[in-house]
Chain A
């Protein structure tokens, strides 16, 4: 501090405890100590009380047999052979599945609605406004219950299932689809698919370079479509169609075989996507509005047509405004998926903080693990979105 004084004056002697730097350090150290002390006290208090009540603690339960069934399992799981740890992974994967698909659907729907709100067509823009205002002002839990009951009540019983051509069966037990059964030689098709993707990327780079050099444009989209879809189909035919389908069969009570989409899953996915889409629509609308009208006019005056103007001028600038709030909508959707517990979808909270917590009685451990998982998912989502955001952010020269 004394160095800041103008030269020539004698240095002022200040007691060290009056030095603002020392003081602020002392205050911060004291605050940290208090917080650490509080955490320590709370933890040791909890441990003492758990011990006094002889409540089991520790993570030993992780390897004990679960003994309960789960209705939707993406990995192999059986009540008798699997552990609580396995049940945790089943629940986590179910959460990630519904959150991942929900993010995709909500984004697509949200962008459509958001752009529709800006439409010059009166009916379209008012319909979009009505959607946003209705959906985002009704609590999500009510919407989930509504969708679940709508799904259950409007669909027929097992015996009167809707049969959709292609072997699809729909009733109040779920949607049953034929599942692909892969024959020998199918790996060639998978290889062809990835070759198609790689070739599309190469073509895209080549087309861009050529356009920069000569100004000529190449049909990138149709070529990529041909490579990614066409190539595997050709390989499929050449290798003699090593692919068959398992069709759902009606049994006495239920339908077996094929793929099964549970009504709980469908209701949760519907509810989450539709709810979050309303918020994303507003984010998108705000982003597009944030791009100055002058940008569009400048593009038109350079001779760009409306479609490239939107794609090359407006959207890239709008994305800078859209990405940060969009990230928080994705995080909301993931966290909201824990409302699954209300409609019987076996997500992480339902399986782990529900049944596992109850059977083991180890609330502290189970809740701590669950919180850590949601924190990890949220931080990972944020990280990815931040990387994307920094790539499209305005680069000032």
Chain B
């Protein structure tokens, strides 16, 4: 509830303080979670998105609810964040997940030293791992490679990214946030006067905000450039293939150092194989390299030998918003941080760099903490305890097309 609602107009009460006006750009998982977090803290939020809800990276996503086990060896910080958020999201938004669990599959050629490192790192990161014998695993996953030696069960699952974003947005809107889809930001001046182009009516409006949060994922640098500043993001594209048929019941990961095509995620009556990884300049222009499809099948075949027998339902690609570091590629961190562009001459403009959908709520919490500190708005984050509204309630608040 905003202070405006607590103190109705004309009641001759002195407001304690008027909530600052905040603009959030982007209705992917980050932007939706940020808008919800601000709304819960009583700030006045407007969110704009140039397309529909989750029409960027969040939508085209392998839909894996991570346990963090995949990152435990190479990026323990990201792994800890994943397992913590995994537990919180299941509690606050139960309708957006298939909580199937996931297996890390050990094959005869698996590097034994990597297995030991994997188990040790998972323990360090507090990720519960249960070993499953070959027989028990094959009973649950009849299509799995019969050469499987062992499998390790972790609390993973599948999410529906579109519904997750709608749940965050619905909850934000119920607290007074204004959500505008098909509205593109075309200019940001240094005093945070923002020009917004309403695509259905071809009208442009200008409005001044106290703070602007740029949550546009891999587009974060493109958006920052509108204000004449830069943000260090490295759009890293990945290809995914969706096959018809519920070929596996649980999320299947290859027990090896993260590589192309080593995850198979079941969702409804299909499975998604992913992903490859290469750096692109423009997230709006991703051309799928034809050899990547074969690459994905080659690795996925190790997990499910019959995988080529199933019909392809769709092939897609999207860009991850990785933080730019010197190393590049897969070793680039899955972490995130919030950049305040004050040193570049635009105080009040914040960009969220990096991150992944599993940790979207945490990214929002940290971003909003930074923004609230800047605005002297002393209200703590409550998103970890409050249950989100159902995505089906969206229509009640979706008046701002």
Q: Do A and B come from one complex?
A: no
**Which A residues are within 8 Å of any B CB, using their own CB?**
none
**Which B residues are within 8 Å of any A CB, using their own CB?**
none
